[in-house]
């Protein structure tokens, strides 16, 4: 596990598949107060597409993402204790490429 100081991001060990990363994300996402909403991407291949889910109060969210340094990953953010330093930001990398993420986005947006 690595922590990036600038963002307080915690990067977990890489798992084999998106499904494993998503399941870990759902475990970390935990209780969310009921119904979830679609989480729409803001950048790159995920722009304006469903990339994950968020709690109805928008304080917890997970998303499928790609970064050239981290590769394909699922990111879990928790703002229930506030934004900035109190926030939780966890990255779960998985095997694949940017093309893997694009294929998964097509599946998430059927």
Residue 94 is encoded by which pair of tokens? 């998985």
For residue 4, the model assigns a pLDDT of 55
Domain that holds residue 99: 2-108
pTM of the model: 0.88
Ranges of H-type helices in 1-110: 18-29, 98-108
Domain count, the chain: 1
21-78 per-position pLDDT tens digit = 999 999 988 776 678 999 999 988 999 999 999 999 999 999 999 999 999 999 999 9
pLDDT digits (tens, 9 = 90+) for 1-13: 665 555 679 999 9
pLDDT at 33 (0 to 100): 65
CA distance 25 to 101: 16
């Amino acid at each position: 596990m690595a922590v990036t100081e600038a963002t307080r991001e915690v990067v977990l060990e890489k798992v084999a598949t998106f499904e494993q990363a998503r399941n870990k994300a759902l475990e970390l996402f935990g209780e969310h107060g009921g119904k979830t909403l679609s989480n729409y991407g803001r950048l790159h291949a995920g722009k304006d597409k469903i990339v994950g889910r968020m709690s109805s109060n928008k304080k917890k969210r997970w998303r499928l993402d790609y970064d050239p340094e981290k590769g394909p990953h699922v990111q879990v953010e928790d703002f229930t204790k506030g934004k900035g330093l109190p926030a939780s930001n966890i990255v779960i990398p998985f095997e694949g490429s940017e093309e893997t993420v694009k294929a998964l986005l097509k599946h998430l947006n059927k």
